[in-house]
Amino acid sequence: MATTHSAPSDAATMRRVRRAGAIGNFIEYFDNALYAYFAVTIAKLFFPTADPVAGLLSTFAVFGVAFFIRPVGGIVFGHIGDRWGRKRQLILALLLMSISTTALGLLPTYATVGLLAPALLMGCRLLQGFSVGGESTGAFVLVVEHSAAASRGRNTAPLIVSSIAGAACAAATALATTALLPPEAITEWGWRVPFFIAVPLGVVGLYLRLHIDESEAYKEATKESAVINKAVGHRHSPLAQAFRSVPKEMLILFGWVALQAVAGYLTVGYMVSHLVQFEKFAFSSALGILIAAMVIAMIASTLLGRLMDRISRRSFASILSIGLAVWVLPAFVLMSWGPVPAAFGLGIFASLMYGTMITSGVAIVELFPVDVRASASGFAYSVAFSVFGGTVPFVATWMSASFGATAPSYYVILFAVAAIFVARFGIPNAREMDVVADAAATPSATASAPR
């Protein structure tokens, strides 16, 4: 088995690659956050009911449906990424994500077409979820494959910052919409306008992704791997080969991403509704709290990326999981103290959560061989989000309504404690992985450089 030690990309190429990867992450979090921020309005228009909590639960149920199709997207786009290239995978995922988000803003409501309205809403969310299955890990693979092992943390950090910026810009867009339009106009047509921003974002993203190249590691794999090049030998599908060669590593990624999914969508997919419904903040105040928290997290993520390159991967992951387990309950308690304590508490929580994303992005490259990397990571990552991420707004709403406003914190603690063990015994330290996956080999056979 050949181990890849391909030279990292030069600074100019690295900047282009980071921008091309970051734009998709921005759009993904912008789209998902918009849906969550307008959840109360969408609930009224697509799920009219006398009980506002019941309508909100229905809206979040549709939010979760998108996550159940995500593994299918991970399989399809992962196959494209391994077989035909990361660039093609990311271009196709971006186009589908932009089209489905724009379509969501064009949907007729329940008052116009009855039950067809929630069905169409669900269809758009399914397409969004399918595309995200190829976007999330594809961007990580693209950027980290171009990076040297010693700089993977700081090169991954801009992807995380773009994710935070997407959520923050969605909040700012929702805040501007509510500030500029009366409630009647928002309900009638104003909620649609932010979804159309996906059009110019998609055009910019397409331009950036058309002007990147594959990493040297992937180019090497196209010459050596039977998974990619049928001239080399018997051609297995990338995912089938991944299950043969790296099943334990796929389970490790699944276990780690479970915490990221729960903490992430508690922040982006649920928190504004929680602040409005259970902490009794005005919608504009809730958005302001989230924007402030996101600014804190953006600054922290840049610093965390550099920290990851200075200490061992396992120590870094352990600090994050322990921090989330300890801090989540105080963060919820601070929400009842007013907007400034709420923003501070949520900002620290979000910083730790986004740190788990940096770990995931780097682990994707350091767990899997090049020729099955997109498929193995896309499947494990998407299944974790499907099982745990999409249900978070629904579960958290139910827990808060049933057991009190701080109840969702215990849900996060459960996953954070489990992640501590994954961090200590599963997350690899910095290493180079093989170009070709071999069913007879294990990751311990790869050349590693522990940090």
Rounded mean pLDDT of 113-120? 87
159 neighbors 48 (Cβ within 8 angstroms): no
On average, the pLDDT of the chain sits at 87
- Give Cα separations from 112 to 22, 48, 88, 109 (angstroms): 38, 12, 39, 5
The model's pLDDT over 164-212, given as tens digits with 9 standing for 90+, comes to 899 889 888 988 998 899 989 999 999 999 999 999 999 999 999 999 9
The predicted-structure confidence for 311-344, as pLDDT tens digits, reads as follows: 999 999 999 999 999 999 999 999 999 999 999 9
**pTM for this predicted structure:** 0.86
More confident residue, 394 or 357: 357
Domains of the chain, residue spans: 11-229+236-445
Q: What is the pLDDT of residue 7?
A: 56
Quote the pLDDT of residue 53.
66
Q: Is the pLDDT of residue 16 over 70?
A: yes
**CATH fold of the domain at 11-229+236-445:** Growth Hormone; Chain: A; (1.20.1250)
Buried b (16+ CB within 10 A) or exposed e, 257-286: bbbbbbbbbbbbbbbbbbbbbbbebebebb
What's the mean pLDDT in 411-427?
95
Name the residue with tokens 């890990």: 137
Among the listed ranges 65-79, 219-233, 266-280, 312-326, which one has the minimum average pLDDT value? 219-233
125/109 Cα distance (integer angstroms): 15
